[in-house]
């Protein structure tokens, strides 16, 4: 495991003691701090102004009650969160996650990651994240609507196009953004398009936002392949998850000539040597809100479904974890290495455990961290904000080209920065340092706030 620079040990210890039990937040902070040794050595001004300690403390954390009534007339209760982490570069920006596992530690890890990711995009957006322990699974659309309306009835007072701009994440897609935007509009009496991103195309949304995270991850891998004079042509790819990020990662891999042979959900995974049938997967997941097992049943004997074991035992040259945090562990990394995997790129946020990351690194597998590889989603959200601000809308082609250009630029910045700080080819170091220095310099310029 990488070690922490001596100067940064007390900073990390303070994060652990001030945020007890928030293990995902500790993990995300540690992973960034591990890269910053050479930066603090070169730039004493950051320590003088306590930039890193301030960066690890959210600017504001909001926790609120979300009561709602289910279809049977019973009162239900959930907890809502919005962590406004850092606004040095722009209004807080980051998604909302609705999943039973959500608690403050998850929201803080995601908000912390978001600061550096948003900085890497080069767009004027700060970092934040929110969500709820609400479980949308098995709930009717009417229940989801009532939950979203209750959630926004409190959240509205904290957000705004110049303050904080939420979007989707796990469990929050176009349907939920619609209900949230509707309630925001109702309680504020303002058609403030720029307050949320991921909106529908007929009411202020941007082309390509739905596809952006998955497409962007694959564009990033394309840059990695191009750097070694290689391409997706004929490559076997495994994508975990089957939600928004996974579906559009699969689509772009197929468009670029690769073959995705497996995908998953939290119940199991499906393997299909001839390639996942994306039209059917979209129908099952997006239209019917079904499961990967339903997809497998519809495909018959060409697909093998398994509810046991790990998707990472499926041989591939490229692995794209696109489901959730810590879904790829040490044992999985060993399997990937043994099967000849060459590239792992994180479509999800922090899906690879620290042990797995270290094993992949030691084995020479090229590894793209989420804050670089999945930044295409939030970058396209920033393009949505631009279009809203100018009351304009761009074509699919133009927006996709902007996304591709952003991913090229992030890839370039990662490699250039890694090289400058003596870790040539290390995307983790490059992403962390490039993301950090831009925010840190802004924080220095803005004074002790
Ligand atoms: P979705 O809700 O659309 O899909 C999530 C997928 O991950 C589902 O297949 C789900 O399976 C699976 N999953 C979720 N939680 C778990 C779990 N605890 N164990 C196993 N599988 C799980 O979410 P997204 O596709 O939007 O998000 C996926 C990842 O990408 C997240 O890490 C998110 O933070 C990240 N991300 C998303 C962006 C976006 O724009 N949406 C942008 C950047 C990153 P099941 O249905 O069984 O729960
Ligand atoms: O993790 C992420 O970058 C997102 N969920 C998207 C955030 C956004 O504001 O588009």
pLDDT tens for each residue of 163-182: 999 999 999 999 999 999 99
pLDDT at 306 over 80: yes
Q: Is 129 a catalytic residue?
A: yes
Our answer on whether the CB atom of 272 is closer than 6 Å to any ligand 1 atom is no
Confidence check: pLDDT of 1 > 80: no
Length of the chain: 449
The conformation of residue 328, written as its DSSP 8-state character, comes to: B
Q: Give me the mean pLDDT over the 334-347 stretch.
A: 98
Does the predicted TM-score (pTM) go above 0.85? Answer: yes
Q: CA-to-CA distance for 427 and 419, rounded, in angstroms?
A: 10
Where residue 3 falls among pLDDT bands split at 50, 70, 90? confident
The yes-or-no verdict on residue 84 having pLDDT over 90 is yes
pLDDT above 90 covers what percent of the chain?
99
8 Å CB contact between 209 and 384 = yes
Dihedral sign (CA 315, 316, 321, 325): positive
Catalytic residue among 129, 185, 235, 285: 129
Pair type for strands 92-98 and 164-167: parallel
CB neighbours of 23 closer than 8 A, spacing ≥ 6?
Answer: 105
- Residue whose CB lies within 8 A of the most ligand 1 atoms, among 170, 287, 288, for a mutation test: 170
Measure the CA–CA gap between 230 and 242, rounded to whole angstroms: 27
Cα 378 to middle of ligand 2, angstroms = 5
DSSP string, 165-223: EEE-BTTB-HHHHHHHHHHHHHHHT---GGG-SS--GGGT--TTHHHHHHHHHHHHHHH
Answer whether residue 86 shows pLDDT above 90.
yes
Distance 192 CA to ligand 1 centre (A): 28
Kindly state if the Cβ of 100 falls inside 6 Å of ligand 1.
no
């Amino acid at each position: 495991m990488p070690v922490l620079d001596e100067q940064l040990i007390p900073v990390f210890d303070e994060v652990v003691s001030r945020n007890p039990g928030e293990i995902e937040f500790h993990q995300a902070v540690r992973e960034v701090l591990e890269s910053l040794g050479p930066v603090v050595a070169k730039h004493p001004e950051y320590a003088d102004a306590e930039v890193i300690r301030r960066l690890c403390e959210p600017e504001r954390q909001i926790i609120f009650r979300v009561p709602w009534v289910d279809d049977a007339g019973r009162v239900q209760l959930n907890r809502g969160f919005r962590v406004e982490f850092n606004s040095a570069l722009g209004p807080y920006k980051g998604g909302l996650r609705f999943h039973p596992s959500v608690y403050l530690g998850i929201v803080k890890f995601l908000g912390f990651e978001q600061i550096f990711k948003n900085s890497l995009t080069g767009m004027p957006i700060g970092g934040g994240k929110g969500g709820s322990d609400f479980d949308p699974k098995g709930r009717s659309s009417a229940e989801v609507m009532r939950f979203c309306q209750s959630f926004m009835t409190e959240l509205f007072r904290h957000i705004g196009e110049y303050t904080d701009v939420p979007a989707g994440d796990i469990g929050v897609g176009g349907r939920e953004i619609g209900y949230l935007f509707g309630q925001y509009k109702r309680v504020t009496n303002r058609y403030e398009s720029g307050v949320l991103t991921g909106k529908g195309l007929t009411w202020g949304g941007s082309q390509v936002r739905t596809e952006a995270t998955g497409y962007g991850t694959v564009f990033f891998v394309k840059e990695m392949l191009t750097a070694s004079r290689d391409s997706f042509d004929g490559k076997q790819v495994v994508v975990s998850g089957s939600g928004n990020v996974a579906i559009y990662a699969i689509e772009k891999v197929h468009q670029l000539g690769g073959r995705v042979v497996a995908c998953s959900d939290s119940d199991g995974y499906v393997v299909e040597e001839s390639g996942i049938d994306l039209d059917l997967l979209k129908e099952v997941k997006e239209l019917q809100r079904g499961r990967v097992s339903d997809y497998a049943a519809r495909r018959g004997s060409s697909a093998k479904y398994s509810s046991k074991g790990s998707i990472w035992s499926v041989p591939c040259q490229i692995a794209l974890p696109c489901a959730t945090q810590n879904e790829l562990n040490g044992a999985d990394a060993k399997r990937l290495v043994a099967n000849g995997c060459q590239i792992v790129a994180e479509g999800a946020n922090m899906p690879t455990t620290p042990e797995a990351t270290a094993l992949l690194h030691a084995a020479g597998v090229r590894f793209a961290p989420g804050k670089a590889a999945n930044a295409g989603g939030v970058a396209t959200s920033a393009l949505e904000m631009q279009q809203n601000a100018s009351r304009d809308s761009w074509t699919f082609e133009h927006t996709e080209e902007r996304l591709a250009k952003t991913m090229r630029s992030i890839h370039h910045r990662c490699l250039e920065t890694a090289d400058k700080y003596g870790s040539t080819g290390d995307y983790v170091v490059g992403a962390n340092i490039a993301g950090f220095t831009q925010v840190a310099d802004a924080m220095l310029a803005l004074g002790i706030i």
